[in-house]
Amino acid sequence: MKIAVYPGSFDPITNGHLDIIERGAKVFDELIVAVLVNVEKKGLFNVDERVKLIEKVTKNYKNVKVESFNGLLIDFMKEKNANVILKGLRAVSDFEYEFQMALMNNKLDPEVETVFMMTNAQYSYLSSSAVKQVAKFGGCIKELVPDEIIPDVIKKIKGE
Ligand code: PNS
C-alpha cells in the first residue's frame, strides 16, 4: 500500500492545495494531509482549526486523512509507515527551497522520496498569505479558497 504525506502549514487551505489533494488521492492508496505545528509562528488559524477546515473540504475523499505533526516530518512519516512526501510546485521560485527540503529529507531517510506535482496553472499565483492579505483588506476570496470555508476565513480575519 502506497501511503503519501502532503505536509504544509495550510493557514488556511487554498484551492491550490485542494487541487493537489484531489490529484494526489488518485495516485496514492492513502493520502495524509499533515499540518505542521509550528510553535514559533502564530498563524491566523490554530492547528486544530486548520485540520477541521481541511476535513470539511476533503470529507468526500475516502482515502484522505488529515492530521497534525510537530518536529521532523521524517519522524511523522515513520510513525505513519509512509515513504512518499507529496509537494506542489507553483513556480521556479518554489524550486530552490523545495529542492533543499527534498534533499534534506532524503538524507535523513533515504527510503523517503519526495514527489512533486505541478500546480494547476489556474492556481500558480495562489498562496495562503496572499489569501489572508486579500481578505484582510476586504477583497474577494471566491475561487481562492473552497467555497465552504469562505465564511470561516472572513470571520476569523474580522476577529469574530
Ligand atoms: O506550507 P509550508 O509552510 O511551505 O510547509 C513547510 C513544511 C511543513 C513542509 C516544512 O516546514 C516541514 O516539513 N517542516 C517540518 C520540519 C522538518 O522536517 N524539517 C526538515 C526538512 S528541511
Over residues 124-133, the mean pLDDT reads 96
Question: Catalytic annotation on 23?
Answer: no
Asked if 33 and 3 touch (Cβ cutoff 8 Å), the reply is: no
Q: Which residues, including other chains, have CB under 8 Å from residue 118's CB and lie 6 or more apart?
A: 88, 89
Given its phi and psi angles, is residue 71 left (phi above 0), alpha (psi -120 to 50 degrees) or beta?
left
Which of 26, 52, 90, 93 does the annotation list as catalytic? 90
Residue 101 alpha carbon, nearest atom of ligand 1: 22
Dihedral over Cα of 11, 114, 103, 69: its sign: positive
Q: What residue numbers does the annotated binding site for substrate cover? A: 9, 41, 73, 87
pLDDT in tens, 100-116: 999 999 999 999 999 99
Angle between helices 128-136 and 150-157 (to 10 degrees): 60
pLDDT-derived band at 75, boundaries 50, 70, 90: very high
What pTM, to 2 d.p., does this model score? 0.97
pLDDT(49) > 80: yes
Q: Which DSSP helix (H) or strand (E) runs through 100?
A: helix 92-108
CB 7 near ligand 1, within 6 Å? yes
> Which residues neighbour 26 within 8 Å (Cβ) at sequence distance 6 or greater?
none
Q: Give the full edge-to-edge strand order of the sheet including 113-118.
A: 64-69, 30-36, 3-8, 84-89, 113-118
Residue 160 has pLDDT above 80, yes or no: no
Q: Is the CB of 105 under 6 A from ligand 1?
A: yes
Q: Is 16 in the pocket of ligand 1 (CB under 6 A)?
A: no
Q: How far is the CA of 7 from the centre of ligand 1 (A)?
A: 7
90 catalytic, yes or no? yes
Pocket test residue of 101, 103, 104 for ligand 1, highest count of atoms within 8 A of CB:
101
53 contacts 142 by C-beta, under 8 angstroms: no
- Which residues, listed in sequence order, are joined to residue 115 by a DSSP beta bridge? 86
